[in-house]
Structure 1
Amino acid sequence: MKQKNILNTFFDFFDKYPREYFIFAFFVVFALINISVVFSHTVVHHKFYNDLAFKQQVGKVSVPVTRGTIYSATNSGTVFSTSVSLYDIAVDPQMPGDKGKLSIFLRDIVYKQTCYLQSKKDCYQNILKFLKVPEIEDFSSEKNSIKELILKNIQEKLAKTKVTSVLLAEEIDNEKIISLSNLNMRGVYPNGNVLYVNPEEISDEVYVASKISSIIGVEEETVKELIKKRELRYIPIINRISISLSDEVKKFINEENEAIKKGVLDEDKSIGGFIILDAHPSRFYPEKQVASQIVGFVDSEGVGHYGLEGYFNDLLKGKNEERVSKKDIMGRIIDPINLDESELNGEGANIYTTIDRNIQSKVEQVLEDGVKKYRANKGTIVVMEPKSGEVLAMANYPSFDPNSSGDVYELEKVTYGKYPNPAIDLLGKVVLVEDSERGEEFFYDGKKLYLRLAEREELGNPALVKYKYKNDFGAGVYKNDAISGLYEPGSIMKAITVSAGIDTGEIKRYDMYNDTGELKIDTFTIKNVSKECIGYKSFNNALNFSCNVGMIRISQKLGKALFSQYLSDFGFGKASGITLDGEVFYPIQPYQKWSIAQLFTTSYGLGISVTPIQMASAYSVIANGGYYLKPRIVKSIIFPNGNTINYKQEVVSKVLKDTTSKTVTDMLVDGVENGVAKTGGVPGYTLAGKTGTSQIAYKGGYETGVGSTVASYAGFGPAEDPKFVIIVKLERSRVDIYGGTTASKMFAETAKYLFDYYGIPSKIKK
Structure 2
Amino acid sequence: MRRKRRRPAQKFNRKMRTKLMVLFSLILAVLCGLIGRLTYIEHTKGETYQKKVLSMQSYDSKTIPYQRGEIIDRSGTVLATSVAVYNVILDCTVVNDKEEYVDPTVEALVKCFPELDETEIRRIIKEKKDKRYIVLAKKVPYDEVQPFVELQDAVDKKGNKVNPDIKGVWFEKEYQRNYPFGSLASSVIGFTSSGNVGTTGLENYYNSTLNGINGREYGYLDSDSDFEKTVIDAQDGDALVTSIDANIQSIVEEKIKDWNEKYRDNYYKGTGSINTAAIVMNPNNGEILAMADYPNVDLNNPRDLSKWYTKKQIKNMSEDEKMDALNEIWQNFCVSSTYEPGSVQKPFTVACGLETGTIKDKMTFDCDGYEDFNGQKVRCVARYGHGIETVRKTLMDSCNDAIMQMSYKIGKNHFTEYQSIYGFGQKTGIDLPGEANTASLMYQVEDMKPIDLATNAFGQNYNCTMVQMVSGFASLINGGTYYQPHLVTKITDSTGNTISTVEPKAVKQTISQSTSDKIRDYLQSVVKEGTGNTAKVDGYSMGGKTGTAQKFPRGNGKYLVSFMGFAPYDNPQVLIYVVVNEPNVADQPHSVFAQNIAREILEEVLPYMNIYPDEKKTGVNKGYDVTGSKDSSQYTGKHNGTKSRNEKKKKN
Q: TM-score, normalised by structure 1?
A: 0.61
Q: 1:670 aligns with which of 525, 543, 568?
A: 525
Query: CA offset at residue 309 of structure 1?
Result: 1.9
Mapping of 1:356-367 within 5 angstroms? 356-367=245-256
Are 2:67 and 2:175, in contact at CA under 8 Å, matched by a contact in 1?
Answer: no
Q: 2:330 aligns with which of 450, 455, 478?
A: 478
Distance 1:414 1:492, change over 3 A: farther
Q: 1:369 aligns with which of 226, 235, 258?
A: 258
Mapping of 1:192-271 within 5 angstroms? 240=139, 246-247=142-143, 249-250=144-145, 252-253=147-148, 261=156
Q: 2:293 aligns with which of 391, 396, 402?
A: 396
Aligned-pair identity (%)? 28
The corresponding residue for 2:352 is 500
Mapping of 1:126-141 within 5 angstroms? none
Deviations 1:104-126 (A, max 9, x none): x878xxxxxxxxxxxxxxxxxxx
Q: CA–CA distance in 1 between the matches of 2:140 and 2:561?
A: 41
Q: 2:279 aligns with which of 382, 399, 409?
A: 382
Whether 1:606 and 2:456 are equivalent positions in the alignment is no
The corresponding residue for 1:151 is none
The corresponding residue for 2:39 is none
Q: CA–CA distance in 2 between the matches of 1:250 and 1:158?
A: 17
- Which sits farther off after the overlay, 296-305 or 722-731? 296-305
Whether 1:286 and 2:180 are equivalent positions in the alignment is yes
| 3-state SS of 1:400 partner | coil
The corresponding residue for 1:535 is 387
Q: 2:372 aligns with which of 501, 504, 520?
A: 520
Q: CA–CA distance in 2 between the matches of 1:414 and 1:602?
A: 44
The corresponding residue for 2:84 is 85
Q: CA–CA distance in 1 between the matches of 2:217 and 2:121?
A: 37
Distance 1:390 1:714, change over 3 A: same
Q: CA–CA distance in 2 between the matches of 1:372 and 1:527?
A: 34
The corresponding residue for 1:340 is 231
Mapping of 1:645-724 within 5 angstroms? 645-697=500-552, 701-702=553-554, 704-705=556-557, 708-724=558-574
| 3-state SS of 2:485 partner | coil
The corresponding residue for 2:24 is none
The corresponding residue for 1:70 is 71
The corresponding residue for 1:9 is none
Distance 1:485 1:252, change over 3 A: same
| 3-state SS of 1:742 partner | helix
Which amino acid in 2 is paired with 1:85? A
| 3-state SS of 1:402 partner | coil
Q: CA–CA distance in 1 between the matches of 2:190 and 2:230?
A: 29
Q: 2:436 aligns with which of 584, 590, 612?
A: 584
Whether 1:753 and 2:642 are equivalent positions in the alignment is no
The corresponding residue for 2:190 is 296
Are 1:410 and 1:474, in contact at CA under 8 Å, matched by a contact in 2?
Answer: no
Q: Which segments of 5 or more consecutive residues in structure 1 lack a partner in the other structure?
A: 1-46, 108-153, 167-199, 201-224, 326-336, 416-430, 433-443, 454-467
Are 1:371 and 1:377, in contact at CA under 8 Å, matched by a contact in 2?
Answer: no
Deviations 1:272-315 (A, max 9, x none): 99999764322222232222222222221222222222222222
Whether 1:564 and 2:416 are equivalent positions in the alignment is yes
Which amino acid in 1 is paired with 2:291? M
Q: CA–CA distance in 1 between the matches of 2:300 and 2:243?
A: 22
- Which sits farther off after the overlay, 722-731 or 476-485? 476-485
Q: CA–CA distance in 1 between the matches of 2:88 and 2:382?
A: 64
Query: CA offset at residue 607 of structure 1?
Result: 1.3
Query: CA offset at residue 572 of structure 1?
Result: 0.9
Q: CA–CA distance in 1 between the matches of 2:213 and 2:168?
A: 38
| 3-state SS of 1:381 partner | strand
Q: CA–CA distance in 1 between the matches of 2:62 and 2:413?
A: 58
Q: 1:555 aligns with which of 407, 417, 421?
A: 407
| 3-state SS of 1:393 partner | strand
Distance 1:729 1:87, change over 3 A: farther
Are 1:371 and 1:378, in contact at CA under 8 Å, matched by a contact in 2?
Answer: no
Distance 1:284 1:755, change over 3 A: same
Whether 1:636 and 2:478 are equivalent positions in the alignment is no
Distance 1:158 1:339, change over 3 A: same
Distance 1:665 1:533, change over 3 A: farther
| 3-state SS of 1:473 partner | helix
Which amino acid in 1 is paired with 2:580? L
Query: CA offset at residue 551 of structure 1?
Result: 1.3
| 3-state SS of 1:719 partner | coil
Q: CA–CA distance in 1 between the matches of 2:212 and 2:460?
A: 45
Which amino acid in 1 is paired with 2:410? L
Are 1:688 and 1:716, in contact at CA under 8 Å, matched by a contact in 2?
Answer: yes
Whether 1:744 and 2:595 are equivalent positions in the alignment is yes
The corresponding residue for 2:34 is none
Q: CA–CA distance in 1 between the matches of 2:85 and 2:273?
A: 37
Mapping of 1:349-498 within 5 angstroms? 349-374=238-263, 375-407=272-304, 412-413=309-310, 444=315, 450=318, 473-498=325-350
Query: CA offset at residue 260 of structure 1?
Result: 7.7
Q: CA–CA distance in 1 between the matches of 2:113 and 2:261?
A: 36
Are 1:409 and 1:475, in contact at CA under 8 Å, matched by a contact in 2?
Answer: no
Q: CA–CA distance in 1 between the matches of 2:417 and 2:307?
A: 46
Which amino acid in 2 is paired with 1:749? E
Distance 1:162 1:102, change over 3 A: closer
Query: CA offset at residue 745 of structure 1?
Result: 0.5
Are 1:692 and 1:738, in contact at CA under 8 Å, matched by a contact in 2?
Answer: no
Give the number of aligned pairs: 535
Which amino acid in 2 is paired with 1:661? S
Are 2:241 and 2:491, in contact at CA under 8 Å, matched by a contact in 1?
Answer: yes
Are 1:294 and 1:394, in contact at CA under 8 Å, matched by a contact in 2?
Answer: yes
Distance 1:685 1:407, change over 3 A: same
Deviations 1:659-689 (A, max 9, x none): 2111111211111111111111111111111
Deviations 1:578-626 (A, max 9, x none): 1222212301332111122221111111111111111111121122111
Distance 1:591 1:765, change over 3 A: closer
Query: CA offset at residue 258 of structure 1?
Result: 7.7
Deviations 1:79-112 (A, max 9, x none): 22223212468999x8559989978x878xxxxx
Query: CA offset at residue 649 of structure 1?
Result: 2.0
| 3-state SS of 1:389 partner | coil
Whether 1:310 and 2:204 are equivalent positions in the alignment is yes
Distance 1:474 1:721, change over 3 A: same
Distance 1:102 1:411, change over 3 A: farther
Deviations 1:528-565 (A, max 9, x none): 12358422222322211211111111111111110111
Which amino acid in 1 is paired with 2:258? D
Q: CA–CA distance in 2 between the matches of 1:380 and 1:473?
A: 18
Q: CA–CA distance in 2 between the matches of 1:451 and 1:357?
A: 35
Distance 1:414 1:756, change over 3 A: same
Distance 1:406 1:160, change over 3 A: farther
Query: CA offset at residue 389 of structure 1?
Result: 1.2
Distance 1:87 1:621, change over 3 A: same
